[in-house]
Amino acid sequence: MKVKVGAFLGGAVFGIGLAIGGMTQPAKIVGFFDFFGSWDPSLAFVMLGALIVYTPVYRWAVRTWQHPIWAPTFTLPTRRDIDGRLVVGSAIFGVGWGLGGYCPGPAFTSVGAGSMEALTFGVSMLIGVGLYQLLMRVREGRAGGPADSQAAAMIDG
């Protein structure tokens, strides 16, 4: 239960920050990528502000804590290689973000604010996640074990 409360509070702070920073507006995201038109650097300033706050807190927490406040262990990725799945997945994410003007966090924040466009994006994204999970389960059945051990560890952990 503590993990769910922590995740909810973290998500709420993140969503509020996105809304205050104006990052729930697709025009801001599209404007950031419009380098040769009317470029809008505000996304870069929001990211820079987040890094200025996050970096010292992260460094302090890693040095000070043995585990997260509301979880028994840190759950961090173990893979460091760059493979085809990572490149293709990143490209799909980037194309979806660029075309839709939404990243998952701002999309769900905008859904909470009543945006039908964000709802369409969010539902489409969840359908994609569901299709991926279905594909992995089919592959697991054929292979006799987890097809994506990193995802399985994060879900089980």
Please provide the average confidence, as pLDDT, over all residues in the chain.
82
The pLDDT of residue 156 is above 60: no
- pLDDT tens digit string along 11-25? 888 888 888 888 888
- pLDDT tens digit string along 30-88? 888 888 888 899 888 988 988 999 899 988 988 888 887 777 877 777 888 898 888 98
Rounded distance between C-alpha atoms, residue 128 and residue 118, angstroms: 15
Say what the pTM is. Answer: 0.60
